[in-house]
Amino acid sequence: MTIEARFFLDRGDFTLDVDLVIPGQGVTALFGRSGSGKTTILRCLAGLERIREGRLRFHGETWQEGRRWMPVHKRPLGYVFQEASLFPHLKVRDNLLYGFKRLRPDRRRLALNDISALLGLADLLDRYPDALSGGQRQRVAIGRALLTSPQLLLMDEPMASLDVTSKGEILPYLERLRDELSIPVVYVSHAIEEVARLADHMVLLEAGRVLAQGPLQTLLTRTDLPLAHSEQASAIIEGTVAAHHVSDHLTELAFAGGTLLISHQARAVGTPLRARILARDVSVALTRPDGSSVLNALEVRVSDISDDPQPGYVILTLDTGGQPLLARVSLRSCRQLALAKGQTVWAMVKGVAVA
């Protein structure tokens, strides 16, 4: 089941011209610079932009095509904006239940207790919005949208107005939403660290057009796209928690290409975990170095060598157990090591972030 969309909108100074195929499960990130069309696409999906040249099918049901148009209030979706926009005169409980009470009983698939537990709101139900932190307010806004039992959740940069501490507070709850609810999410962001942590699928936008769309792991490491050549170029490694080294405050992540030691994570052994590795934090060696302070060394195969816009550097694409890894190394090092496609080398990973 998928979401298929074709939108064309000409505003003179901005033109949106996109064809989209969005998976019917997981989190799809609309990613690009400001003005690339992310929010406009979200508004088209919601029906807030009524455009003449458009087509939208959701799980086989036509929401828009030709003269056929499903109005906003009939589309089974929830919308979370940048600002929480809670009702200041209502307590958290009543804010959460605002849409729920207006929903026919036979359409209620989620209950207040379930959403309160999922988003950690149980202790906040009797507070007013002015007594909440920014992260708490946004969690209430997400809960309010979920309690309308949507079949699709649209999120427009829900953490854009939050400080670093509040973002760190809300991210684990968004991960729980992704992992525990079978509601497809379309998530708008221009922060790659958010996308790397939450998304499964990505639509990369530039000036109102789609540069590429596909699995997140693939788009991050495609060297024909700008992401792999940016300062924040990175790769995602998907694995499971293999062990905890309590005395060293480390967690061991296992995947087909080996193991990685990362900072301690309060997750049970056997649970899925993803790690983000920046290209600048990976160096290569022809043999496994001894006596190094770098904890993580992976035997990898060089699958591609491409020029980097940064003078004097190249980008290596490395295969590690079927998952791609990027390394930004100097052109001189590449020549000295005589690196070539198909060669087996060791990747030394200096930094690993939980993604």
If asked whether residues 215 and 270 sit together in one domain, one would say: no
Q: Are 17 and 8 in contact (CB under 8 A)?
A: yes
The verdict on residue 227 lying in a domain is no
The verdict on residue 39 lying in a domain is yes
Pairing of strands 61-65, 68-69: antiparallel
Q: List, in sequence order, every residue forming a beta bridge with 315; answer none if it has no partner.
A: 306, 328
| pTM, 2 dp | 0.91
If asked whether residues 217 and 243 sit together in one domain, one would say: no
Instruction: Mark which of 190, 221, 252 sits at the end of a domain.
Output: 221
Confidence of residue 354 (pLDDT cuts 50, 70, 90): low
The mean pLDDT of 218-241, rounded to a whole number, is 95
If asked whether residues 216 and 259 sit together in one domain, one would say: no
**Could you give the CA distance from residue 193 to residue 299 in angstroms, rounded to a whole number?**
26
If asked whether residues 319 and 212 sit together in one domain, one would say: no
**Which CATH number covers residue 207?**
3.40.50.300
The verdict on residue 214 lying in a domain is yes
Q: What is the tally of structural domains in the chain?
A: 2
If asked whether residues 182 and 277 sit together in one domain, one would say: no
Q: Which residue has the higher pLDDT, 164 or 339?
A: 339
Nearest by Cα to 194 from 234, 226, 224: 234
Q: How far lies 20's CA from each of 10, 30, 55, 83, in Å?
A: 18, 11, 10, 27
Q: What is the CA radius of gyration of the chain?
A: 22
State the sign of the Cα–Cα–Cα–Cα dihedral 138, 141, 145, 147.
Answer: positive
pLDDT for residue 120 is more than 70: yes
**Which CATH number covers residue 257?**
2.40.50.100
> What DSSP state is assigned to residue 236?
E
The verdict on residue 217 lying in a domain is yes
If asked whether residues 283 and 175 sit together in one domain, one would say: no
State which residues form the domain around 202.
2-221
Buried b (16+ CB within 10 A) or exposed e, 114-133: ebbebbbbeebbeebbeebe
Decide: residue 180, CB within 10 A, 0-12 exposed, 13-18 middle, 19+ buried. exposed
The mean pLDDT of 66-74, rounded to a whole number, is 89
pLDDT in tens, 255-270: 999 999 999 988 899 9
The verdict on residue 346 lying in a domain is yes
**Could you give the CA distance from residue 336 to residue 112 in angstroms, rounded to a whole number?**
62
The verdict on residue 228 lying in a domain is no
Lowest mean pLDDT among 120-129, 162-171, 271-280: 162-171
If asked whether residues 21 and 98 sit together in one domain, one would say: yes
Confidence of residue 160 (pLDDT cuts 50, 70, 90): confident
Residue 12, pLDDT score: 86
**Could you give the CA distance from residue 21 to residue 214 in angstroms, rounded to a whole number?**
9
The mean pLDDT of 24-40, rounded to a whole number, is 94
pLDDT for residue 193 is more than 70: yes
Name the amino acid, one letter, at 298: L
For residue 90 the two structure tokens come to 């209502």
Confidence of residue 84 (pLDDT cuts 50, 70, 90): confident
Instruction: Mark which of 199, 221, 243 sits at the end of a domain.
Output: 221
If asked whether residues 113 and 240 sit together in one domain, one would say: no
Instruction: Mark which of 172, 199, 221 sits at the end of a domain.
Output: 221
Residue 151, pLDDT score: 93
Q: How far is CA 220 from the centre of its chain?
A: 11
Confidence of residue 315 (pLDDT cuts 50, 70, 90): very high
Residue 99, pLDDT score: 87
**Could you give the CA distance from residue 243 to residue 225 in angstroms, rounded to a whole number?**
36
pLDDT for residue 80 is more than 60: yes
If asked whether residues 195 and 297 sit together in one domain, one would say: no
pLDDT for residue 22 is more than 90: yes
If asked whether residues 20 and 115 sit together in one domain, one would say: yes
The mean predicted confidence, pLDDT, of the chain is: 92
If asked whether residues 200 and 245 sit together in one domain, one would say: no
If asked whether residues 204 and 252 sit together in one domain, one would say: no
The verdict on residue 58 lying in a domain is yes
**Could you give the CA distance from residue 91 to residue 94 in angstroms, rounded to a whole number?**
5
The verdict on residue 97 lying in a domain is yes
